[in-house]
Amino acid sequence: MTTTPASPNIPASPPAAPRALVVGESLIDVVRRLDGTVDEHPGGSPMNVAIGLGRLGRPVDLLTWFGPDARGTALRDHIAESAVHVVDGSDGAAATSVAIATLDETGAATYTFDLDWQVPATDGLLDDVVVVHSSTIGAALAPGGKAVLDLLSRARVSATVTYDPNVRPALLGDGAHELIERLVTLADVVKVSDEDLAWYEPGIASGAIATDWASRGPGLVVVTRGSEGVLAVTSAGLVVEVPSRRVVVADTVGAGDSFMSGLIDGLWTAGLLGADHRDAVGRIDEATLVGILERCAEIAGITVSRAGANPPWAAELTVA
């Protein structure tokens, strides 16, 4: 039997590069300060995570929902500046959503929302995707929430699923706790703030909740604790703590999101993304985990040192 050689005039197609897919809201943060000034910045936790990944050099698609208005144009321009690809159909909203962030004397923000959430068609979106990230809002709000949950369930076949609860009580109705628990069990990696855990289970130590969550499916649960640093727990029982960076805080908008970007990026560099590496995430060694978290702390520190959700570019970092 003879074999016909491939034509030398038709070059072989290179394999597609693995990509991240981030699912969730894009909106405008209207920031109200104590001195009476008001600024507008692109925001939304998932969008911020996608921006952070793009600035760290990762190929990333953003499945989101905003309008064809002036604020939507501002979002699209901001997203494009960080080399993030917006999934087709994501600009179908009647108007771009808004989050009003009111800052206190420490720079911490409380939020109110005018938010519309739907999900464009998702056929083929998981091709070549190595990690899918989402938060609670996208899974909670109708009519898009059901599609998000379905997408995350399908993603587990081939990709790592990462999750940040990013709790916004004003948007979460009855069943919020059950939804968070469902998302935790779907996730391979969870990043959560101590403030969110205090809302989720008041009076229970964040480490105890993280340990419980790490026994329910995730290989890694990371708790950010502001100036108190970071606590991480793995499903194999490893517990590590890393201090936060000492910086002059402009505000905390987007800090947790930039930390999440750094966490995904660090696991990517360590070769721990993709469904084939699901078990390895829970067995991550201490040195690798500490290195990842120290870089995340630097990323978050840079973000809080400047106004709005403005994560750093890779060239700004000192931690490799």
Mean pLDDT score, 73-92: 96
Model pLDDT, residue 108: 78
Contacts of 7 (CB under 8 A, 6+ apart): none
DSSP notation for 91-139: T--SS--EEEEEE-TTS-EEEEEE--------TTTTTTEEEEEEEHHHH
- Reading the block at residue 282, the tokens are 């829970």
pLDDT digits (tens, 9 = 90+) for 135-180: 999 999 989 999 999 999 999 999 999 999 999 887 887 889 999 9
Residue ranges and CATH numbers for the domains of the chain are 19-316 (3.40.1190.20)
Residue 271 confidence (pLDDT) above 60: yes
Residue 2 confidence (pLDDT) above 50: no
Model pLDDT, residue 115: 87
Contacts of 243 (CB under 8 A, 6+ apart): 229, 230, 297
Residue 8 confidence (pLDDT) above 70: no
Computed over every residue of the chain, the mean pLDDT equals 91
pLDDT digits (tens, 9 = 90+) for 195-227: 999 999 999 999 999 999 999 999 999 999 988
Mean pLDDT score, 171-193: 94
Mean pLDDT score, 253-273: 95
With bands split at pLDDT 50, 70 and 90, how would you rate the model's confidence at 7? Answer: very low
248 φψ region: left (φ > 0), alpha (ψ -120 to 50), beta (else): beta
With bands split at pLDDT 50, 70 and 90, how would you rate the model's confidence at 23? Answer: very high
Comparing 194 with 8, which gets the higher pLDDT?
194
Residue whose C-alpha is closest to residue 200's, from 219, 189, 213: 213
Residue 6 confidence (pLDDT) above 80: no
Percent of the chain, pLDDT > 70? 95
- Reading the block at residue 223, the tokens are 């708790």
Model pLDDT, residue 3: 44
* Three-state secondary structure call for residue 146: helix
pLDDT digits (tens, 9 = 90+) for 29-70: 888 889 999 988 888 899 999 999 999 999 999 999 999 999
